[in-house]
């Protein structure tokens, strides 16, 4: 049986697939970036939970990360479309189908990465905070 954390990360991965970009989870950057862009979901860190008693609950603000990467001549416009699609997907289902209390993304900080012999990449890490509670930190 999957843990609460794994269930939510899987749901987030599926939610991100609603756009036109290729979405991977925990993979290395491939040699070629698809024309519509590439998203790589990283599991991130659950952080220190707040704990309440009676009943015992652990309240997490899990910080996952989405690596957004585009390449090509129109990379600025493609990157803008890609990040907007992430925002739209999250806004459409803020509770990941009832699995968490709230999910929200932080603003990206894009960088241009030159590639020898190829068009440069535009990339950013987009932190995504998933708020959830569980009765056991290992469940």
Q: Does a structural domain hold residue 57? A: yes
Cα–Cα distance measured from residue 130 to residue 134, given in angstroms and rounded to the nearest whole number: 13
> Higher model confidence: residue 139 or residue 22?
22
Q: Does a structural domain hold residue 86? A: yes
CATH of the domain at 94: 3.30.2000.10
At residue 107's C-alpha, the angle toward residues 134 and 101, to 5°, is 20
Q: Does a structural domain hold residue 55? A: yes
Q: Does a structural domain hold residue 139? A: no
Q: Does a structural domain hold residue 46? A: yes
User: Which range of residues forms the domain containing residue 58?
Assistant: 4-134
pLDDT digits (tens, 9 = 90+) for 12-42: 999 999 989 999 999 999 988 999 999 999 9
Q: pTM, whole model, 2 decimals?
A: 0.93
pLDDT digits (tens, 9 = 90+) for 89-125: 999 999 999 999 999 999 999 999 888 888 889 999 9
Count of structural domains, the chain: 1
Q: Does a structural domain hold residue 66? A: yes
């Amino acid at each position: 049986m999957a843990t609460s954390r794994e269930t939510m990360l899987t749901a987030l991965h599926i939610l991100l697939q609603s756009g036109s970009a290729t979405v991977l989870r925990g993979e290395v950057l491939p040699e070629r970036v698809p024309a519509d862009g590439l998203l790589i979901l990283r599991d991130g860190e659950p952080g220190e939970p707040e704990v309440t008693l009676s009943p015992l609950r652990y309240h997490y603000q899990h910080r996952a990360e989405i690596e957004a990467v585009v390449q090509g001549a129109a990379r600025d416009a493609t990157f803008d479309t890609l990040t907007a699609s992430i925002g739209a997907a999250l806004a459409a289902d803020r509770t990941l189908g009832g699995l968490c209390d709230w999910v929200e993304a932080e603003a990206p900080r894009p960088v241009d990465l030159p590639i020898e012999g190829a068009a440069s990449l535009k990339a950013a890490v987009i932190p995504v905070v998933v708020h959830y509670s569980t009765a056991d930190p290992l469940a």
